[in-house]
Amino acid sequence: MKKVIEKRKDIAFFIKMYPLPMHKGAYEKSKTIVCEKSLALLEDAFAKKTLPAPKCQTTALDDNIKLAEKLGIRGTPAMILPNGLVIPGYKDADSIIALIDKSP
């Protein structure tokens, strides 16, 4: 995402936390990130740093899990383009830009 944003200031990402059950502690980590609305904590999670306990109650993660099921998303990363097309898996910055540019 960072590389896409460096190349294209007109592209924005809306991040939805989707903790997979196979990742131990992912739900609580995701809840902390959502509660704090913190990209820095998201980066810390990817760096395998310890995150504090969540400080709020939220249904956002459960809502995201239900949405993912409805859309057929089973893994991460996954992108939903402006035209609604779901793109599963990792894509490099140039591929993401090309997909967005081709999207009506």
Q: What is the CA radius of gyration of the chain?
A: 15
Domains of the chain, residue spans? 2-102
Rounded to two decimals, the pTM is 0.84
Give the integer Cα–Cα distance in Å for 70 and 48. 30
Burial class (CB in 10 A: 0-12, 13-18, 19+), 29: buried
User: Do residues 36 and 30 make contact, with C-beta atoms less than 8 angstroms apart?
Assistant: no
User: 96 vs 35, 47, 59, 100, 102, CA distance in Å?
Assistant: 28, 23, 30, 6, 10
User: Do residues 95 and 77 make contact, with C-beta atoms less than 8 angstroms apart?
Assistant: no
- From first to last of the 104 residues of the chain, give the pLDDT tens digit: 899 999 999 999 999 999 998 999 999 999 999 999 999 999 999 999 999 999 999 999 999 999 999 999 999 999 999 888 999 999 999 999 999 999 87
Query: Does the domain formed by 2-102 have CATH 1.10.10.10?
Result: no
List the structure tokens of 22: 């196979």
User: Do residues 94 and 48 make contact, with C-beta atoms less than 8 angstroms apart?
Assistant: no
